[in-house]
Amino acid sequence: MSEIPAELRYASSHEWAKNDDGTVTVGITEHAQDAMGDLVYVELPEVGQVVAAGDEAGVVESVKAASDIYAPVSGEIVEINEALEDEPELVNNAPYEGGWLFKIAMSEETDLDNLLTADQYQAQIESE
């Protein structure tokens, strides 16, 4: 059973979002990294890029798969996790900590309400 922290919100496309005073940190869930297998590359957006919720904002690659990352909320990219350039395995090892992907200065607070709670996300992956 993979870890799904209760305090985070989730997109059905397996991103997690953590809000700190309007700055939302985004990553992929433990379930998602497990399904992908060992990541070999992470493509991140550029700082300053403006995204709408649901926009493609990056790609994670393993040897045999590639998966788009969608912005869970709208806003401007204010920081990316540059450590992933050399160590994509951080996403595998610590998906909710050192393996975060990027941070968005959220423009629409209400976007968060459209995301799943931990329980809802749990229910989704059980039904997959």
Partner 1 sequence: MSETKLIFQLSQPGRSAVSQAPKAVAEDKLGAIPAHLRRQQKPALPEVSEMQVVRHYTNLSSKNFAIDKQFYPLGSCTMKYNPRGANRAAMLPGFLNRHPLAPETHSQGFLSCMFELQNFLKEVTGMKGVSLAPMAGAQGEFAGVAMIRAYHDARGDEERTEILIPEAAHGTNPATAVMCGYKVREVPVGKDGDVDLEALKAACGPQTAGLMMTNPSTCGVFERQIEAIAKTVHEAGGLLYYDGANLNAILGKVRPGDMGFDVIHMNLHKTFATPHGGGGPGAGPVGVSERLLPYLPTPMAGQRDDGSYHWIDTDTLETSIGHLSAFMGNAGVLLRAYYYARSLGRDGMIRVGEFSTLAANYLLKRLEAIGCTAAYPDRRASHEFILTFAKEAKELGVTAMDIAKRLLDYNQHAPTTYFPLLVPECFLIEPTETESKEALDEFVDAMAAILEEARTEPDMVKEAPFTQPVRRLDDVKAARELDLTWTE
Partner 2 sequence: MPYIPHTPDDVRAMLDAIGADSIEDLFDEIPAHLKAAGKLDALPEGLSEMEVTRLMGERAAMDAGAVSFIGAGAYQHHIPAAVWEIATRGEFYTAYTPYQAEASQGTLQVIYEFQTLMTRLTGMEVSNASVYDGASGLAEAVLMSLRANRKSKSRKVLVPTALNPRYTAATQAIVENQDVALQTVGFDAASGQTPLDALKDFEGEDFAALVISQPNFFGSLEEVDALTDWAHANNMLVIGVVNPTSLALLAPPGEWGTEGADIVVGEGQPLGVPLSSGGPYYGFMCCKQKYVRQMPGRIIGRTVDMEGKQGFALTLQAREQHIRRSKATSNICTNQGLAMTASTIYCSLLGPDGLTNVAAHCHTNTQALAEKLTAIEGVERAFSAPTFHEVVLTLPKPATEVLAALAEKDVLGGVSLAKDYDMPNAILINATEVHSESDLDLFAVALKEVLAA
Name the site residues for partner 2 (rule: CB under 8 A).
Answer: 40-41, 43, 46, 61-66, 68
| Interior/surface letters 46-83, b for 16+ CB within 10 angstroms, e for the rest | eeebebebeeebbebebeeeebebbbbbbbebeebbee
Chosen from partner 1, partner 2, none, partner binding at 97 (C-beta under 5 to 8 Å by type): none
CB of 117 to partner 2, least distance (A): 30
Torsion (CA) 118, 32, 115, 51 in degrees, nearest 10: 150
Chosen from partner 2, partner 1, none, partner binding at 89 (C-beta under 5 to 8 Å by type): partner 1
Strands (E), the chain: 9-10, 15-20, 23-28, 39-43, 50-51, 56-62, 66-70, 75-80, 102-106
CB of 87 to partner 1, least distance (A): 9
Chosen from partner 2, partner 1, none, partner binding at 88 (C-beta under 5 to 8 Å by type): partner 1
By beta-carbon proximity to partner 1, the closer residue of 79 and 87 is 87
Chosen from partner 1, partner 2, none, partner binding at 110 (C-beta under 5 to 8 Å by type): none
CB of 109 to partner 1, least distance (A): 33
